[in-house]
Amino acid sequence: MSQKNTLITIVGATAIGKTALSIKLAQHFNCDIISCDSRQFYKEMTIGTAVPVPEELDAAPHHFIQNRSIFEDYSVGQFEKDALKTLDILFIKNPVQIMVGGSGLYVDAVLKGLDYFPNVDSQIRIDLTTELENKGIEHLQNQLKSLDLEAYNTIAIDNPHRLIRALEICIGTGKTYSSFKNKPKTPRNFQSIKIGLKADREIMYDRINRRVDIMIENGLIEEAKKLHPHKNLNALQTVGYRELFEYFEGNFTKEFAIEEIKKNSRRFAKRQGTWFRKDANTIWFDFQEDVQNIIKAIENKL
């Protein structure tokens, strides 16, 4: 078995079982877990982001779980630097480490590095933000669809921050946002083994619907109510919170808000699938696969 530094990364759609698998693998390899979920960084958001429960957190050492506040700006670029620094320390004690998460951009930032985008006139962002407020998110989504279909199909278009970022590059440079992506990056000092979990669509959607029901039972409405005064913060432009804010403001009934959370979570899972399937090197397993078979596949690559 090679002693080369190796990062085992577990990807897949929301509610597919990534956390449970990461803990089993961390216990087998006696290593730590880097969380790569861009919403689990925030300590004020617990229920709606499906943060691992205390028993799960105790079962293996975790990093980047609720280590930030929603009141701090925390970019994917900063996460890339922090995660690489943490990995350098962890690899000293064990050449195998694990990363887990459903945020494709954050996974790619650690494994490959970020793309470079030129600076554009800051007025463009101000104008797009005004358009968002006056005409709604769908107007901006349609704009991106006409300017850069590839970006429309791959970025988190329900996230206003990501949507405006892609549009400002298209408008400010006259080129597509996609054209700046996938350029050569700084090589990593570790090899990567990517494990993907999948399920039939009906099963996946059922798991998502059940997870939302459990979140509601566990107090998601109360959690969102506390966060409602800060609804414009970037961290809160998130499925599960946005819909409840609409309910608090009288735009949705409670039942409709819950159905919207389920619908938008299913859409998010579909986009995650599109993003993660792009990497031909990912080894895919059914979410119910015996963990020993997954361990065997990993050890064959080490």
**Domain enclosing residue 144, as ranges:** 122-180
Question: Predicted confidence band at 183 (pLDDT cuts at 50, 70, 90)?
Answer: confident
Q: H or E segment at 227?
A: helix 220-227
Q: Are residues 189 and 292 in the same domain?
A: yes
Dump pLDDT digits (tens) for 122-169: 999 999 999 999 999 999 999 999 999 999 998 889 889 899 999 999
Note whether 172 and 238 are same-domain residues: no
Per-residue pLDDT at 71 exceeds 80: yes
Q: What is the pLDDT of residue 1?
A: 47
- The string of pLDDT tens digits covering residues 5-16 is 999 999 999 999
Q: Give the whole-angstrom CA distance, residue 64 versus residue 41.
A: 6
**pLDDT exceeding 90 applies to what percent of the chain?**
88
Q: Is residue 48 marked as binding?
A: no
- Whether the Cβ atoms of residue 225 and residue 248 lie closer than 8 Å to each other: yes
Indicate which CATH number applies to the domain containing 68. 3.40.50.300
Q: Are residues 29 and 134 in the same domain?
A: no
* Same domain for 167 and 151: yes
224 known ligand binder: no
16 assigned binding-site residue: yes
- Please indicate if the annotation marks 12 as binding a ligand: yes
Exposure pattern of 172-207 as b/e (b: 16+ CB <10 Å)? Answer: beeebbbeeeeeeeeeeebebbbbbbbbeeeebbeb
CB 117 within 8 A of CB 180: yes
Residue 1 lies in a domain: no
| pLDDT value for 7 | 98
CATH of the domain at 145: 1.10.20.140
With cut-offs at 50, 70 and 90, classify the pLDDT of residue 114: confident
Q: Is residue 83 a known part of a binding site?
A: no
Check whether 20 has a pLDDT greater than 90: yes
pTM greater than the 0.75 cutoff: yes
Element (H, E) at 300: helix 291-301
Does the annotation list 280 as a binding residue?
no
How many domains does the chain fold into? 2
Residues 223 and 168 in one domain: no
Rounded to an integer, the average pLDDT of 181-206 is: 92
Whether residues 244 and 213 share a domain: the answer is yes
Angle between helices 104-111 and 254-277 in degrees, nearest 10 = 30
* 112 assigned binding-site residue: no
93 is in an annotated binding site: no
Asked whether residue 278 is domain-assigned, the answer is yes
**Mean pLDDT rounded to a whole number for the chain:** 95
pLDDT band for 117, please (50, 70, 90 cuts). Answer: confident
172 with 194, same domain: the answer is: no
Predicted pLDDT of residue 22: 98
What would the pLDDT profile of 247-296 be if each residue is shown by its tens digit? 999 999 999 999 999 999 999 999 999 999 999 999 999 999 999 999 99
The pLDDT value recorded for residue 73 is 87
